[in-house]
Structure 1
Amino acid sequence: MVLADLGRKITTALQSLSKATIINEEVLNGMLKDICTALIEADVNIRLVKKLRENVRAVIDFDEMAGGLNKRRMIQSAVFKELMKLVDPGVKPYQPVKGKPNVIMFVGLQGSGKTTTCTKLAYHYQKKNWKSCLVCADTFRAGAYDQVKQNCTKARIPFYGSYTEVDPVVIAQDGVEMFKKEGFEIIIVDTSGRHKQEDSLFEEMLAVSNAVKPDNIIFVMDATIGQACEGQAKAFKDKVDVGSVIITKLDGHAKGGGALSAVAATNSPIIFIGTGEHIDDLEPFKTKPFVSKLLGMGDIEGLIDKVNELKLEDNEVLLEKIKHGQFTLRDMYEQFQNIMKMGPFSQIMVRSILL
């Protein structure tokens, strides 16, 4: 479960309200201290933690509260809203338009899982019947094109790259133009991983951006580097117009809060989170369900989305069989296959029950 340790600590802190006989300043301060400690331990930026604490305190004024108000509910609601603000800059993400070419450029640090995430995103759209493809403009890392070739071949995603051309701008431009002519709707451009101290690579990134004129630039953020995410995110944002964020390696890392709080530096919305190494381990990010899941409330909305992806209501033949009592072992096998498409059983349970 994403940031499960942080979720447990915040949930425990909120439960202290239920155990308290009287809700007063002392109980509120104790709860806020526990929540702030949990966030700081998870590498959330201390400035943002301080702001969260101040905002909750500003909302809760015991002297002004009417006698009949549910103080527990008000405090829990205030904490919930502030946690949502922590990961939601309030900016709407870019929405691809069906029937036209949508150029999406990926940028990020070396080793952040950028190339793998490119394939995951192309596969995500392919499953939704978008005509998607991938352009490998990473000429800096040895074996980058081979990795793209292997990933795309396995997922049956069209790709473009070159073993001989060394200029990423030329490769990106040629690849995008070719796929536009062929009528592709999602054209993903993978670029070299780079660090904010590598000025020449940052200039190269800007040159690629100017050449392909992407509709959306996605910054891939590695959750394992903690608070270092913020400086890197700001450097990328200052150089190119980062429009969205994908956080990777968030599935098992206790200090992923650094990546979540770094979103504030880009002022760009998180659109997906990486939840594993497999090609379909890419989860659309929705703020409210994410915070609900973090607080142990489950994610029913996410579970419904997973079920809807299977399009079970379209299977009229099966429904007729069930109506007439003709459900066979083969039909049962097909339904088990549908359940498997929803992902690991542990993820389904996390969505539907408490942490």
Structure 2
Amino acid sequence: MLDNLKSSLRAAIKKIVNSSGIDEELIKELSKDIQRSLLQSDVNVKMVFEITKNIENRSLNETPPPGLSRKDHIVKILYDELAKLLGNETEFHFQSGKVNKVLMLGIQGSGKTTVTSKLAKFLTKQGYRVAVIGADTFRPGALTQLKTMCEKSDVEVYGENGNENPSEIVKNGLKHFQKTNLDIILIDTAGRHKQEKDLLDEMKQINKTADPDLALLVIDGTIGQQCFTQAEAFHKTVPVGGIIITKLDSSAKGGGALAASAATGAQVMYIGTGERIDDLEVFSPTRFVGRLLGMGDIQAVLDLAKRLENEADDVRMKRISSGKMNMEDFYYQLEEVTKVGSFQGLLDT
């Protein structure tokens, strides 16, 4: 997955790890390497310069907590900033005690029907009772494909051959599953483009009929940073609650797709990593960055950094309370006081 980005980021990390010492020249070189890696993965130029500026500034100006080497601290900074680029670390939970309706959206060719069947299996394996409504009336064979793939997971699919009204199919499908004991109903819809007004209007009508708890937008990872405009256009029509990015295993632009999708504010919830029905996983920015950097134990570095920061604070407070503070402690106290604001402001409250 994203082999070029992986190898170039890891090469940049090696420069830091193998260096005899850290200086400004090396950090600027690291910054340029990261820029090159991200731009080659089709990450938006503005975002690239913003993240590398942050990495450079933090690497040059931040003091590592006592006990953490400067090299490890720079790796932590790189890890933090890359994870931030890819969105928030939040997990979506379906509501219990009700049927969660999930509307599947996407442009033509994004692999939406395939993803719908993959998601059905994924959720079934998690213990959810899942059914699917096939409301793609545009693409010939869509319903047959959906039924064939979902059959492998023992997931029932409702569809109506010959009915070209997707809203009606959704309405009938919801009625069909009304008396079944389900947790989630996935609703597969026809692919559409942001410039096809009629199809977007149709999507609005389907959304109104379905009244979904969640709308998931399926995006092809090979389109890179164009994901941003596509996601934004769909979001203006139907509130998109989450994004699934497909074909990350075969795209050099996957990094751009992830970053652009995260920039829309919608959560990247799942990623497709292959063609098999099991090749779908929950997206975690921190885990993803850890894999990119080839550092499975990166969390250990982060935990150590946090622990050392806390320990340093405890030691400092003991010195201050005992009256044995040094100049660094005095400077720390001054900084904390300035965060409070002016004394006049305190008196006015």
**Shorter-chain TM band:** 0.7 to 0.9
Aligned residue in 2 for 1:143? 141
- Which whole-Å CA distance do the structure 1 matches of 2:106 and 2:23 have between them? 46
Aligned residue in 2 for 1:206? 204
Q: Does 1:4 align with 2:10?
A: no
Equivalent pair of 1:227/1:262 in contact (CA under 8 Å): yes
Question: SS of the counterpart of 1:226?
Answer: helix
CA distances 1:329-350 after superposition (whole Å, capped 9, x unpaired): xxxxxxxxxxxxxxxxxxxxxx
Q: Does 1:55 align with 2:54?
A: yes
Change (3 A) 1:75 1:221: same
Q: Shift of the alpha carbon at 1:228?
A: 1.9
Aligned residue in 1 for 2:303? none
Q: Does 1:179 align with 2:177?
A: yes
- Which whole-Å CA distance do the structure 2 matches of 1:93 and 1:242 have between them? 16
The alignment's TM-score, normalised by the length of structure 2, stands at: 0.80
Aligned residue in 2 for 1:18? 17
- Which whole-Å CA distance do the structure 1 matches of 2:270 and 2:262 have between them? 16
Equivalent pair of 1:98/1:130 in contact (CA under 8 Å): no
Aligned residue in 2 for 1:308? none
Structure 2 counterpart of 1:97, which letter? Q
- Which whole-Å CA distance do the structure 2 matches of 1:251 and 1:228 have between them? 18
Equivalent pair of 1:106/1:189 in contact (CA under 8 Å): yes
- Which whole-Å CA distance do the structure 2 matches of 1:153 and 1:66 have between them? 55
Equivalent pair of 1:234/1:265 in contact (CA under 8 Å): no
Q: Shift of the alpha carbon at 1:264?
A: 2.8
Q: Shift of the alpha carbon at 1:128?
A: 2.4
- Which whole-Å CA distance do the structure 2 matches of 1:282 and 1:150 have between them? 18
Percent identity over paired residues: 40
- Which whole-Å CA distance do the structure 2 matches of 1:69 and 1:62 have between them? 15
Q: Does 1:103 align with 2:82?
A: no
CA distances 1:300-342 after superposition (whole Å, capped 9, x unpaired): 99xxxxxxxxxxxxxxxxxxxxxxxxxxxxxxxxxxxxxxxxx
Point out the structure with max Rg over C-alpha: 2
Question: SS of the counterpart of 1:21?
Answer: coil
The alignment's TM-score, normalised by the length of structure 1, stands at: 0.79
Question: SS of the counterpart of 1:55?
Answer: helix
Equivalent pair of 1:100/1:183 in contact (CA under 8 Å): no
Aligned residue in 2 for 1:306? none
Q: Shift of the alpha carbon at 1:61?
A: 3.2
Which one of the candidate residues 147, 168, 171 is aligned to 1:170?
Answer: 168
Q: Does 1:259 align with 2:257?
A: yes
Question: SS of the counterpart of 2:248?
Answer: coil
Equivalent pair of 1:94/1:243 in contact (CA under 8 Å): no
* CA RMSD in angstroms, aligned pairs only: 2.1
Q: Shift of the alpha carbon at 1:55?
A: 1.5
Q: Shift of the alpha carbon at 1:68?
A: 8.2
Aligned residue in 1 for 2:28? 29
Equivalent pair of 1:8/1:296 in contact (CA under 8 Å): no
Change (3 A) 1:65 1:251: closer
Aligned residue in 2 for 1:304? none
Structure 2 counterpart of 1:5, which letter? N
